[in-house]
């Protein structure tokens, strides 16, 4: 047994153990104490010094030892001076079930390090969503963590960390493993073109990629689809809450839209003047549309600056993407070549397509057997920030508030969760918190977490790259995680293929 100490005092908010000499215990480590009918799982949230010797005498003795040669051996005495570890009881496990502890472990009980077999009760649900392995401090245990994927995805996920702590790697791991399942369609809005794996390993390298991964880009590699949208598929409500518009401009847009629902953008571009709209408003809109859609006119002839928007192709792009998602595929939109506002507009257009399709299916009673759809969005405060939503809601705000009813959820990635309104943060029922140095960001996360993680602030600040804390309404406890490095999946897969090769006697390589 790997005993680390014995319980000496404390209460429900913190159980204090005296650490055994020569043992090292880290913040965040998981420990267990066994009883007759089950065992407690406890987590280290603080560590301090303890001593039998009064402080005054310790200071004096330390001074004497420092300043002159003396043999004060009682100072080094391990019986009188020791380390105290403060633990939070997080779970009680007995053979039949596990629950939050409602009693304290026995006084003077021995506390030991957790082992894999102490966590075997965590089973793999149906429709699993894989997160990584359980971590005890910085030790990784061979226990894989899965939650009920459909529920987690439709109730929104927040992934939060300072830059470089491993958010994108985590998303690669989540989405790659989801390609093994059929219960979810994923729309990945990818501003850094890092998920498909155009130049290195990515989702395209999954064995199911050929059937399940669809890649849209403005400069697609062979076999991928071209990201192009016909202006006829753009509606005025795609712009609101994403492009900043005055009331006069919105009125003008709807006026032209109601006159001609297909050609309203081109008609605004071509309009010299209009009885109901001021020339200034028209001019500003022309400039804005030029910026966003790359459209302009000269002598009554329309031209496009780039090939993202068009008046001759891309009429079925939105429909095709939503069809793929409805069939449980993963659609990656490479938005790396688009400006920030255009990227959000494109993301919003597809999000709107998904939401309205699923809302219709729900009203017709056909939603039940459909996969859920999750939309992954980087730097989420750009569409879910307080300042943005104060100006009027957008499709992402709508999905955050009511998408769950229609099986549509968000995976919002951010470095700055404090910018997202509290009410929306609280609606994100699963949070994967990775290393976060800034204390106001940690507070925003802790306050809105499904589990009480108020003691975890220090742990969160000290999380290393790839380490995370998973809090979720679909988990009984906040789970410390280590996310695998995405590239490592392939070294494992390779050996898997090799095994198969030998079994079947066929040389696949």
Q: Which does 161 bind (CB under 5 to 8 A by kind): ligand ATP, Mg ion, none?
A: ligand ATP
User: In Å, what is the CA distance from 382 to each residue of 11, 168, 336, 341, 343?
Assistant: 44, 17, 16, 9, 11
The entry of Mg ion, ligand ATP, none that residue 471 binds, CB within 5 to 8 Å by partner kind = none
Beta carbon of residue 139, minimum distance to ligand ATP (angstroms, whole number)? 15
Taking residues 406 to 445 in sequence order and writing x for each that binds ligand ATP by CB under 6 A, - otherwise, the string is: ---------x------------------------------
Considering only 161, 189, 253, 380, the residue that binds ligand ATP (CB under 6 A) is: 161
- Of residues 166 and 241, the one with the C-beta less far from ligand ATP: 166
Please state, in angstroms and as integers, the Cα–Cα distance from residue 316 to each residue in 230, 231, 320, 357, 419, following that order: 8, 11, 6, 14, 36
From residue 88 to residue 127, the character string flagging contacts with ligand ATP as x (rule: CB under 6 A) and all else as - is ----------------------------------------
Which of 164, 221, 339, 392 is close enough to bind ligand ATP by CB under 6 A?
164
- Alpha carbon distance 71, 69 (integer Å): 7
If residue 349 lies in a helix (H) or strand (E), which one and from where to where? helix 340-363
31 versus 483: smaller Cβ distance to Mg ion = 483
The residue with tokens 């809302």 is 359
Alpha-carbon span 208 to 376, nearest angstrom: 20
CB of 179 to ligand ATP, least distance (A): 19
x/- map, 257-296, ligand ATP, by CB under 6 A:
----------------------------------------
| Comparison of 167 and 407: residue with beta carbon closer to ligand ATP | 167
From ligand ATP, Mg ion, none, interface partner of 165 (C-beta below 5 to 8 A by class): ligand ATP
Q: Which residues contact 495 (CB under 8 A, 6 or more apart)?
A: none
Q: Are 195 and 188 in contact (CB under 8 A)?
A: yes
- Which CB sits closer to ligand ATP, 192 or 494? 192
What does 169 bind: ligand ATP, Mg ion, none (CB cut-off 5 to 8 Å by kind)?
ligand ATP
Does 166 bind ligand ATP (CB under 6 A)? Our answer is: yes
Measured CA to CA, the distance from residue 302 to residue 309 in angstroms comes to 12
User: Residue length, the chain?
Assistant: 509
Q: How far is the CB of 17 from Mg ion (least distance, A)?
A: 39
Q: How many degrees, rounded to 5, is the angle at CA 318 between CA 421 and CA 197?
A: 80
Eight-state DSSP code of residue 274: B
In our burial notation (b when 16+ CB lie closer than 10 A, e otherwise), range 323-359 reads bbbbebbbbbbbbeebeebbbbbbbbbbbbbbbebbb
User: Any residues with CB less than 8 A from the CB of 90 and at least 6 apart, and which?
Assistant: 30, 41, 42, 43, 100, 101, 477, 478
Which residue in the shown chain puts its C-beta closest to ligand ATP?
466
Q: Which is nearer to Mg ion, 151 or 193 (CB)?
A: 193
**Which one of residues 143, 231, 252, 483 is an interface residue with ligand ATP (CB under 6 A)?**
483
**Are the C-beta atoms of 150 and 127 separated by less than 8 Å?**
yes
**Segment near Mg ion (CB under 5 A); pick from 99-107, 162-170, 266-274, 336-344:** 162-170
Instruction: Find which of ligand ATP, Mg ion, none residue 164 binds, CB within 5 to 8 Å per kind.
Output: ligand ATP
- Site residues for ligand ATP, window 445-474 (CB under 6 A)? 465-466
Does residue 203 contact residue 175 with C-beta atoms inside 8 Å? yes
- Residue 105 site contact among ligand ATP, Mg ion, none (CB < 5 to 8 Å, cut-off depends on kind): none
Residue 475 within binding range of Mg ion, rule CB under 5 A? no
Under the binding rule (CB under 6 A), the answer on residue 330 touching ligand ATP is no
- Min separation Cβ 441 and Mg ion, Å: 16
Nearest-CA neighbor of 305 among 264, 273, 260, 337?
A: 337
168 interacts with Mg ion by CB under 5 A:
yes
| Token pair 């392939």: residue | 490
Residues that bind Mg ion (CB under 5 A): 167-168
């Amino acid at each position: 047994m790997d005993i680390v100490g014995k319980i000496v005092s404390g209460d429900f908010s913190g159980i204090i153990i005296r650490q055994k000499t020569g043992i090292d215990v880290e913040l965040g480590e998981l420990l267990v104490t066994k009883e007759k009918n089950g065992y407690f799982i406890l987590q280290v949230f603080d560590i301090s010094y303890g001593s039998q010797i009064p402080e005054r005498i310790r200071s004096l003795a330390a001074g004497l030892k420092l300043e002159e040669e003396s043999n004060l051996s009682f100072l080094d005495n391990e019986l009188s001076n020791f380390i105290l570890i403060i633990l939070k009881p997080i779970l009680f496990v007995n053979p039949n079930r596990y629950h939050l502890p409602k009693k304290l472990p026995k006084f003077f009980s021995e506390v030991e390090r957790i082992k894999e077999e102490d966590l075997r009760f965590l089973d793999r649900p149906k429709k699993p969503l894989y997160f990584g392995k359980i971590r005890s401090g910085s030790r990784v245990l061979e226990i894989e963590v899965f939650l009920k994927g459909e529920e987690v995805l439709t109730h929104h996920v927040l992934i939060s960390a300072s830059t470089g702590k491993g958010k994108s790697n985590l998303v690669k791991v989540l989405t790659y493993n989801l390609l093994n399942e059929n219960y979810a369609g994923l729309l990945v809005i990818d501003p850094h073109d890092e998920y498909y794996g155009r130049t290195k390993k990515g989702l395209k390298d999954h064995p199911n990629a050929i059937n399940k991964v669809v890649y849209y880009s403005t400069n697609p590699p062979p076999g991928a689809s071209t990201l192009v949208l016909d202006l006829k598929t753009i509606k005025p409500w795609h712009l609101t809450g994403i492009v900043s518009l005055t009331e006069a401009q919105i009125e003008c847009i709807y006026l032209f839209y109601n006159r001609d629902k297909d050609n309203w953008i081109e008609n605004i571009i071509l309009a010299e003047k209009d009885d109901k709209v001021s020339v200034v408003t028209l001019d500003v809109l022309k400039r804005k549309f030029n910026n966003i859609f790359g459209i302009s006119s000269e002598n009554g002839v329309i031209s496009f600056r780039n090939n993202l928007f068009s008046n001759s192709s891309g009429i079925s792009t939105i429909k095709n993407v939503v069809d793929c998602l409805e069939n449980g595929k993963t659609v990656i939109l490479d938005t790396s070549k688009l400006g920030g506002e255009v990227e959000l507009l494109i993301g919003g257009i597809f999000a709107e397509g998904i939401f309205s399709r699923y809302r219709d299916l729900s009203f017709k009673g056909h939603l039940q057997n459909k996969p859920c759809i999750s939309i992954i969005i980087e730097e989420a405060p750009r569409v879910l920030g307080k300042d943005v939503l104060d100006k009027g809601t957008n499709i992402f705000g709508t999905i955050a508030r009511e998408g769950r009813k229609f099986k549509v959820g968000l995976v919002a990635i951010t470095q700055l969760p404090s910018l997202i309104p509290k009410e929306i943060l609280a609606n994100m029922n699963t949070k994967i918190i990775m290393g976060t140095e800034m204390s106001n960001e940690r507070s925003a996360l802790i306050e809105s977490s499904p589990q009480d993680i108020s003691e975890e602030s220090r742990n969160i600040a000290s999380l290393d790259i790839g380490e995370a804390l998973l809090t979720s309404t679909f988990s009984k406890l906040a789970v410390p995680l280590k996310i695998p490095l995405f590239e490592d999946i392939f070294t494992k897969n390779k050996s898997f293929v090799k095994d198969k090769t030998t079994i079947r006697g066929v040389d696949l390589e």
